[in-house]
C-alpha cells in the first residue's frame, strides 16, 4: 500500500459524521482531493450500515474498515473480510454468541440490539437499572465488557477492541505509525487513544471519555465538534497535504 502523509482512522457517529453540514462537506472534499491520504473507518457499525453510508452522495469511501467495535476488518472497496486479520479475533471469540445470550438472559437493564454480529454480542443498557454484578459476570466468563455513551453494552472477545485491531492492521500493512491520526468521541474509542498514536477527542466528546484520557498528552482536545474537530487536529499535528513542487 502506498505510504500516506495522513492515515485517518476515525470513528463515525459523532466524529466523522458529526458536526455541521458545512464542516463535514469541507473535510470530505479535502480527503477526496488528497492523493496522500488513507481513510480508515473504525466504528461499532455493521457492514450493511456502511454500504448504505458510502452510497450517499459526497461520502468518501474508506480504504479500510474496522467494524463491529474492532471485531471485524474489511477491505473498503468491496467490504470483504480480511481473513488474515479476522482469524485471531474469530479464534478468541470461539463462536460464543449463544453462550453470551444465555449468560445474560433476563439480566435487568439490558435490551438486545436487533443486528446480529459475528464476533460480539451487543445490547442497549439502562444506566439506572444495570447492575455491577452483570458486568462482573461477563468478565468472569472470560469476555471484555464495554459500555459507552450511557447507551451501548458490548460483549467482546478478551483483548479485542478498536485500538488493538487498528495496531494489528497497521503492522500487517506496514503503515507508518507517525502518520496515523485516530479520532473519536465516546468511551468505545478509548482503546484508540490507548495506542499512543496521535489522536483527537472531538469537541462533542463524552465527558467520561475526556476523564479517561486525562494526562494523554498525545491526544488533542479540539474545540470543533465532529468533522470540524478532525480538520482542526489535522492542522494541529501538521498532517495537511504536502504542496506539489
Give the pLDDT mean for 174-197.
97
Residue (of 151, 83, 147) closest to 119 by Cα position: 83
**Average pLDDT value for residue range 2-7:** 78
Domain match, 82 and 60 both: yes
Q: What is the pLDDT of residue 115?
A: 86
3-class SS of residue 96: coil
Q: Are residues 67 and 188 in the same domain?
A: yes
Q: Confidence band (pLDDT; 50, 70, 90) for 4?
A: confident
At residue 3 the predicted structure's pLDDT band, cuts being 50, 70 and 90, is low
Nearest-angstrom CA–CA distance, 80 and 72: 10
**22 and 141 share one domain:** no
- Residue pLDDT, tens place only, 188-240: 999 999 999 999 999 999 999 999 999 999 999 999 999 999 999 999 999 99
Nearest CA among 126, 121, 147 for reference residue 135: 147
The model's pLDDT over 76-110, given as tens digits with 9 standing for 90+, comes to 999 999 999 999 999 999 999 999 999 999 999 99
For residue 116, what pLDDT is reported? Answer: 84
Please name every residue paired with 219 in a beta bridge, in sequence order, or none if there are none.
199
Residue 39 has pLDDT above 90, yes or no: yes
Q: Give yes or no: residues 100 and 30 share one domain.
A: no
Domains identified in the chain, total number:
2
Residue in 26, 70, 15, 22 with CA at minimum distance from that of residue 199: 15
Per-residue confidence (pLDDT) for residue 2, from 0 to 100: 53
Q: Are residue 104 and residue 133 in the same domain, yes or no? A: yes
Number of helices (H), then strands (E), belonging to the chain: the values are 9, 11
Examine the domain organization and report whether 150 and 36 are in the same domain: no
Boundary of a domain, candidates 140, 157, 174:
157
Q: What is the largest CA-CA distance in the chain?
A: 64
pTM of the model: 0.94
- Residue 62 sits in which domain range? 6-89+160-236
Say if residue 198 is in the same domain as residue 153.
no
167 pLDDT higher than 90: yes
Residues 132 and 167 in one domain: no
Q: Are residues 14 and 83 in the same domain?
A: yes
pLDDT at 244: 54
What is the overall mean pLDDT for the chain?
A: 95
Task: Tell me, yes or no, whether 83 and 185 share the same domain.
Answer: yes
What pLDDT was estimated at residue 152? 95
Whether 121 and 100 have beta carbons less than 8 Å apart is answered as yes
Residue 214, phi-psi category: left (phi > 0), alpha (psi -120 to 50), beta (remainder): beta
Q: 165 to each of 4, 50, 100, 232, how far by Cα in Å?
A: 20, 18, 22, 25
Residue 165 predicted with pLDDT over 60: yes
C-alpha cell at 42: 473504525
Amino acid at each position: 500500500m502506498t505510504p500516506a502523509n495522513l492515515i485517518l482512522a476515525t470513528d463515525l457517529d459523532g466524529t466523522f459524521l458529526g458536526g455541521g453540514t458545512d464542516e463535514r462537506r469541507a473535510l470530505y472534499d479535502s480527503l477526496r482531493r488528497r492523493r496522500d491520504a488513507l481513510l480508515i473507518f473504525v466504528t461499532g457499525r455493521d457492514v450493511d450500515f456502511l454500504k448504505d453510508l458510502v452510497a450517499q452522495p459526497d461520502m468518501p469511501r474508506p480504504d479500510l474498515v474496522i467494524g463491529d467495535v474492532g471485531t471485524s476488518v474489511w477491505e473498503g472497496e468491496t467490504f470483504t473480510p480480511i481473513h488474515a486479520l479476522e482469524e485471531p479475533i474469530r479464534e478468541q471469540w470461539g463462536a460464543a454468541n449463544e453462550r453470551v445470550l444465555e449468560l445474560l438472559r433476563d439480566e435487568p437493564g439490558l435490551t438486545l440490539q436487533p443486528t446480529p454480529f459475528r464476533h460480539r454480542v451487543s445490547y442497549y443498557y439502562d444506566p439506572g437499572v444495570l447492575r455491577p454484578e452483570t458486568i462482573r459476570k461477563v468478565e468472569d466468563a472470560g469476555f471484555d465488557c464495554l459500555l459507552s455513551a450511557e447507551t451501548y453494552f458490548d460483549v467482546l472477545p478478551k483483548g479485542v477492541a478498536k485500538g488493538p485491531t487498528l495496531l494489528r492492521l497497521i503492522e500487517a500493512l506496514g503503515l507508518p505509525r507517525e502518520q496515523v491520526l485516530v479520532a473519536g468521541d465516546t468511551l468505545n474509542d478509548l482503546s484508540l487513544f490507548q495506542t499512543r498514536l496521535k489522536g483527537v477527542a472531538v469537541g462533542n466528546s463524552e465527558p467520561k471519555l475526556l476523564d479517561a484520557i486525562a494526562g494523554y498528552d498525545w491526544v488533542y482536545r479540539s474545540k470543533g465538534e465532529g468533522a470540524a474537530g478532525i480538520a482542526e487536529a489535522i492542522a494541529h499535528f501538521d498532517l495537511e497535504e504536502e504542496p506539489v513542487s
